[in-house]
Amino acid sequence: MRIETQVLVIGGGVTGAGILRDLAMRGIHAVLLERRDLNAGASGANHGLLHSGGRYVVADPASARECARENEVLKRIASGCVEDTGGLFVALEEDKDEYIVDFISAAARTGVSVEQADLKELREEEPFLQPRVKAAFRVPDASMNPFLTTEANLEAARRLGARVFFYTQVTSMQRDRKRIARVDAIQAKTGEAVEVFADQVVSAAGPWVDQIGALAGADLRIAYSKGSLLITNSRLVNRVINRLRPPSDGDIVVPGETVTITGTNSIRVEHLDHLRTSASEVDRLVEEASRMVPALETARFIRAYAGVRPLVLADRDEPDRKISRAFTVFDHEKDGLENLVSIAGGKLTTYRLMAEKAVDLVSRRLGVDEPCRTAEIPLPGSGEGRALDTSQRLERLRVPPPGGEVLCECEMVGRQQIEEIVAELRKNGHPIDPNAIRLRSRLGMGSCQGGFCGYRTIGYLYERGLVSSKKGNEMLADFLEKRWNGIKPMLWGEQLRQEQLLEAIYCGSLNIDGSL
Amino acid sequence: MKTDCDLLIVGGGLTGLVAAWRAQREGLKTVVVAQGPGSLPFTSGALDLLAVYPTEAKRYRESPWEALSELIETEPEHPYGRVGLRGARAAVEDFLLYLEAGPLAYYRRGEENMAIVTGAGTIKPTYAVSVSMKKNRLAWSRRRPALILGFEGLYEFSPEQVVCNLQDRWGGLKAARLDRSVLLDGDRRLTVTQLAFEFERPEFRDRFAGAVKPLLGQSRFLGLPAVLGFDRVAAVCRDLEERLGVGVFEIPLLTPSLPGMRLAALLKRDLVEAGVDFRQGAPVSRLDEKGGHVSAAYRTGKSREERILAEYVLVATGRFFGGGLEADRQGVREMLLDLQVEAPGDRDNWHMASFLGAPGHPINRVGVKVDSMLRPVGPGGVPVYDNVFVAGAVLAGHDWVREKSGAGISVVTGYAAVDSVLAARARAGGGV
Ligand SMILES: Cc1cc2nc3c(=O)[nH]c(=O)nc-3n(C[C@H](O)[C@H](O)[C@H](O)COP(=O)(O)OP(=O)(O)OC[C@H]3O[C@@H](n4cnc5c(N)ncnc54)[C@H](O)[C@@H]3O)c2cc1C
Ligand SMILES: Cc1cc2nc3c(=O)[nH]c(=O)nc-3n(C[C@H](O)[C@H](O)[C@H](O)COP(=O)(O)OP(=O)(O)OC[C@H]3O[C@@H](n4cnc5c(N)ncnc54)[C@H](O)[C@@H]3O)c2cc1C
């Protein structure tokens, strides 16, 4: 396949999606290539916290300012992806008083809204919060669904004529002196080669940005920092709870729709694939988070996952937590490359701003002087309204889908919704498998982690003739193996019991591990 | 001391039921305490003995008995190793004769394993099946033209999945679905139990046969999900065969699984008729033990505590799913008597990196260690109680999921545990 376009965007995480939309809104023709599916990198492996900036006020004021501003913007333009929970910073008895003082004055300096909370009120609002809290502050943190966000950005871009290719991995670049003349990619599902001719190339490949740079001969110094997160099967807190101390392990608890997400940590890794969370990481995160929310000690955890932050290395050696979480736009002119821009670092919270800066640079190079309007125009599905409040959102999740035909019982995903997603995938020429459906719904996100509904989904795909021969069963095995990576570290108590039932059914009853 | 029973069996899964059946017939006054139904209602009802050995190589074995003798040689700590070939043969023979003569008319293929088609379109090896799956094996082994039929709105079963997965090896296989409006009023989702009720009604079968006949074409067999009634499944199959003029068989499903429920119901009914005191609901919450001897068990219900004095106790509490074992972040515990179990190192080592891979997850081999009499042992292999025995899935040293040996281990160790009780009684001078 041969593609000609003004701008090629590499990477289908939230940053790449935001860039694609911004380009399209400025009338620039653009194509995005993603080596896997929606949010395959850090965008699918984070806390889903729309930061107020509070976490960064003391150590990284630039990031704090960016977060504070973007927090307001996204609550407006991405209201359909945000649940405006509000957040808290809580100091426990063992936490240092000096940090509380620093926190308050730094918040004032950076424009992060902080309001002292009444501890008695708090106990009513957050019954699972540790009762021995010595101080607490309200901040405008919120919970943000990164899958909806990326999808809404891609959809907006598609409506303006941009094109998105999933399972299409950039493998090499042909350089013609100061320019990338051609980008080569390969489609994983079909093996088809893709050649892209673009005036400008934007690499939004997250932690892979150094590898993409290397293909063009650009040198980027990136370190990889892995962070792990744990999910429980129920929602234990109403607000985002942050520990009021210098950023450390296990000090954030985020309510995400029907679940609670706790984390995270920071461990240097050498490789980006096959990330695993070890039992000792899990134990430490559970212990730390239960200091703030003791019920987490006995909660039912259903999954662990890990993502990698690209840390843009300064010249001196700094500890990872100290490296700025602000983002960097690499203008590769200094490497003698006129048509490559790389962008890395930053946050989900600042994706829109990151996109704006990257597209500003690309526009200048292309001689386009349309202004950025992504801070004003809402995303599809976000209307002009405010973010849904918690009760509205939970209401939506609890109602059985129309027709009562439920495929995923844990998360109330209906057959009709699956049908709509499948139709959408087909329209976009996207390969159809249970993982693709899972990423676009809540299918498989509940207690069984897809163990039951994954099977039903395969049955449905066979029924509709969307898979044939042994393909569906291979997809099922593949789906079970993929989910396993996140389940394996969480197997104790009730979750182990459930998993033993699933293994007994799949291997004991159905023999899918060794069909004759 | 006066006791309430000779043998108290804790656990009402397949192991507990098998042991109770045998104990009562041997004249032991038997009480079963079952907190819940155990695994049986989830099983395919097909009785596996041993079909994969060694599991490292995922080697399928046509002859379970040949594989069993090898296993017993090489793995003396495996439950089968503990019991030995003679005991295993006698138990399986006796139990199957009983099931073959009963209303579920179990069927086996001589001394060999057989292969049946499952709802996932996979082929499962097993040793014995109930009458409703006999022709499942026949149709597959002869690759006769067959229609696999599903029901619109029954998400547990996709006939297309079965056909797509097997058609390269089975010509003349077709899939079809019945629109539910042909059979039933309303447009609700169909469930397995709802269909089972319907199939027990002759009027429904009449309508069903009328709707299916035109779809049959050249098919010599009709394969249906396992929904053909409850305990009258044999009669339902026969009736459908007469109406349709083809062989009819059931295909086991993911869950819920009627063939497993039928077997559980049959065993329970026969036990109670034979005089076993079967108490379901409240669990055994604690035991009186002193000097390596257990004298009484307590069931704690909502309002009162009930004491059961027993001469011998059989622990048949299952694994994690049954409730016999529990794990927390630190390790694994046996829940009834805190018997010795060793977890395979720290939690990172409990499971393999692959869910479905070989040889199986190390945690699956964790369980209660026993001596050759099936008495639980402590460090050094010495029995810790003189009147406690252990049987079934809770035992250490097996991986029934990968070996395909689930029911076999229950039957063989259930029988052997009763043998041990009888031997201990004889030694103690108590006559039977
Ligand atoms: C543990 C953790 C927790 C976090 N929590 C939060 C939080 O609560 N709030 C917040 O605001 N931020 C959070 N972040 C940060 C946030 O997740 C990231 O900043 C953001 O997701 C980065 O998005 P991205 O699109 O730049 O990169 P990614 O999401 O990593 O996307 C890069 C994409 O490029 C693709 N790609 C790579 N190589 C190729 C190739 N050769 N060809 C084609 N495509 C390629 C990858 O498959 C991937 O999809 C967290 C990060 C981590 C790691
Ligand atoms: C989903 C699934 C599918 C299977 N499929 C097959 C198959 O196709 N073929 C096959 O041969 N095998 C199959 N098996 C395996 C086989 O049936 C089991 O290994 C076997 O039934 C285990 O029996 P058990 O009685 O030892 O344990 P369980 O069935 O787990 O029973 C344990 C019993 O102990 C009770 N209990 C526990 N603690 C207490 C207490 N304190 N007080 C009172 N009661 C207590 C429980 O309530 C339960 O009644 C399957 C198992 C499962 C789970």
What residue's CA is closest to ligand 2, atom 35? B11
Q: Which residues does residue A288 pair with via DSSP β-bridges, in sequence order?
A: none
- The per-residue DSSP string of A344-400 comes to EE--STTHHHHHHHHHHHHHHHHT--PPP-TTTSPPTT--SSPPBPHHHHHHHHHSP
Return the ligand 1 atom nearest residue A185 CA.
Answer: 42
Q: Is the pLDDT of residue A315 over 50?
A: no
Give all domains of chain A, ordered by start, each with its CATH number.
79-143+223-318 (3.30.9.10), 391-509 (no CATH)
Q: Which residues does residue A88 pair with via DSSP β-bridges, in sequence order?
A: A138, A241
A298 touches B at CB < 8 Å: no
For residue range A211-247, list pLDDT tens digits in order.
999 999 998 889 999 999 999 999 999 999 999 999 9
Q: Cα(first)–Cα(last) distance of chain B, in Å?
A: 17
Q: Is the pLDDT of residue A319 over 80?
A: no
Alpha-carbon distance of A384 to A376, in angstroms, equals 10
A507:B401 CB<8 A: yes
List CB contacts of B303: < 8 A, sequence separation 6 or more: none
Alpha-carbon distance of B199 to B237, in angstroms, equals 10
- The per-residue DSSP string of B366-406 comes to -SB-B-TT--BB-GGG-BS-SSEEE-GGGBSS--HHHHT-H
pLDDT band at A335 (very low <50, low <70, confident <90, very high): confident
- Among residues A55, A438, A454, which one has the least CA distance to residue A263? A55
Three-state SS for A177? Answer: coil
**pLDDT score for A312:** 82
B26: burial class by Cβ within 10 Å (0-12, 13-18, 19+)?
Answer: middle
- What are the CA-CA distances from residue B56 to residues A153, B344, B404 (Å)? 48, 18, 13
Q: Is the pLDDT of residue A390 over 60?
A: no
φ/ψ (deg, to 5) at A82: -115, 135
Q: Name the minimum distance, in Å, from the CA of B224 to any CA of chain A.
A: 15
Alpha-carbon distance of A285 to B77, in angstroms, equals 38
Q: Which of A284, A298, A509, A510 to mutate to test the interface with B (most CBs of B within 10 A)?
A: A509
Cβ A272 vs Cβ A312: under 8 Å: no
- Among residues A304, A121, A342, which one has the least CA distance to residue A226? A304
The pick from B317, B339, B389, B411 for probing ligand 2's pocket by mutation, whose C-beta has the most ligand atoms within 8 angstroms, reads: B317
Cβ A265 vs Cβ A282: under 8 Å: no
For residue range A154-213, list pLDDT tens digits in order.
999 999 999 999 999 999 999 999 999 999 999 998 999 999 999 999 999 999 999 999
Task: Kindly report, as residue ranges, where domains of CATH 3.50.50.60 are found in chain B.
Answer: 2-57+261-427
Alpha-carbon distance of B195 to B49, in angstroms, equals 30
- Ligand nearest A327 Cα, by number? 1
Q: How far is the CA of A15 from the centre of ligand 1 (A)?
A: 8
**pLDDT score for B186:** 66
Alpha-carbon distance of B368 to B102, in angstroms, equals 33
B254:A510 CB<8 A: yes
What residue's CA is closest to ligand 2, atom 25? B13
Q: How far is the CA of A241 from the centre of ligand 2 (A)?
A: 42
Q: How far is the CA of B401 from the centre of ligand 2 (A)?
A: 12
Q: Is the CB of B44 under 6 A from ligand 2?
A: yes
Q: Name the minimum distance, in Å, from the CA of B44 to any CA of chain A.
A: 6
Strands (E), A244-380: 252-256, 259-263, 267-269, 301-312, 327-331, 340-345
Q: How many contacts, defined by CB atoms under 8 Å, are there between A and B?
A: 157
Mean of the pLDDT values across residues A460-481? 94
pLDDT < 50 positions in chain B: 432
- What are the CA-CA distances from residue B297 to residues A158, B1, B13, B285 (Å)? 69, 15, 19, 8
Q: Which residues does residue B150 pair with via DSSP β-bridges, in sequence order?
A: B177
Alpha-carbon distance of B3 to B118, in angstroms, equals 47
Q: Is the CB of B321 under 6 A from ligand 2?
A: yes
Q: What is the residue-averaged pLDDT of chain A? A: 92
Its sign, for the CA torsion B288, B294, B295, B297, is positive
Q: Name the minimum distance, in Å, from the CA of A516 to any CA of chain B.
A: 5
Task: Centre a 10 Å sphere on the Cβ of residue B264 and count the other Cβ atoms it contains.
Answer: 21
Q: A14-25 vs A146-159: helix axis angle to the nearest 10? A: 30
pLDDT-above-70 percentage for chain A: 93
Q: Is the pLDDT of residue A454 over 70?
A: yes
Cβ A207 vs Cβ A344: under 8 Å: yes
A383 touches B at CB < 8 Å: no
B-chain residues within 8 Å CB-CB of A282? 329, 347
B124:A516 CB<8 A: yes
B-chain residues within 8 Å CB-CB of A512? 120, 122, 356
Alpha-carbon distance of B320 to B401, in angstroms, equals 13
A504:B121 CB<8 A: no
The pick from A10, A43, A172, A266 for probing ligand 1's pocket by mutation, whose C-beta has the most ligand atoms within 8 angstroms, reads: A43
Alpha-carbon distance of B97 to B99, in angstroms, equals 6
Alpha-carbon distance of A295 to A273, in angstroms, equals 33
Mean of the pLDDT values across residues A92-98? 96
B391: burial class by Cβ within 10 Å (0-12, 13-18, 19+)?
Answer: buried
B-chain residues within 8 Å CB-CB of A513? 58, 356-357, 402
Q: Is the pLDDT of residue A321 over 70?
A: no
List CB contacts of A391: < 8 A, sequence separation 6 or more: none
List CB contacts of B66: < 8 A, sequence separation 6 or more: none
Mean of the pLDDT values across residues A94-99? 96
For residue range A62-85, list pLDDT tens digits in order.
999 999 999 999 999 999 999 999
Return the ligand 1 atom nearest residue A226 CA.
Answer: 53
Selected from 3.90.1150.10, 1.10.287.3510, 2.40.50.140, 3.50.50.60, the CATH number assigned to the domain covering B2-57+261-427 reads 3.50.50.60
Mean of the pLDDT values across residues A396-409? 60
Task: Kindly report, as residue ranges, where domains of CATH 3.40.50.1860 are found in chain B.
Answer: 119-251
Q: Who among A404, A458, A506 is closest to B161 (CB)?
A: A458
A480:B123 CB<8 A: no
Alpha-carbon distance of A201 to A180, in angstroms, equals 8
Ligand 1 contacts (CB < 6 A) are: A 10-16, 33-36, 39-43, 45-49, 51, 169-170, 204-208, 212, 227, 229, 264, 307-309, 346-349
A279:B346 CB<8 A: yes
Alpha-carbon distance of B117 to A515, in angstroms, equals 10
Q: How does DSSP classify residue A117?
A: P
Per 3-state DSSP, what percentage of chain A is helix, strand, and coil (rounded to 5)? 40, 25, 35
The CATH number of B119-251 is 3.40.50.1860
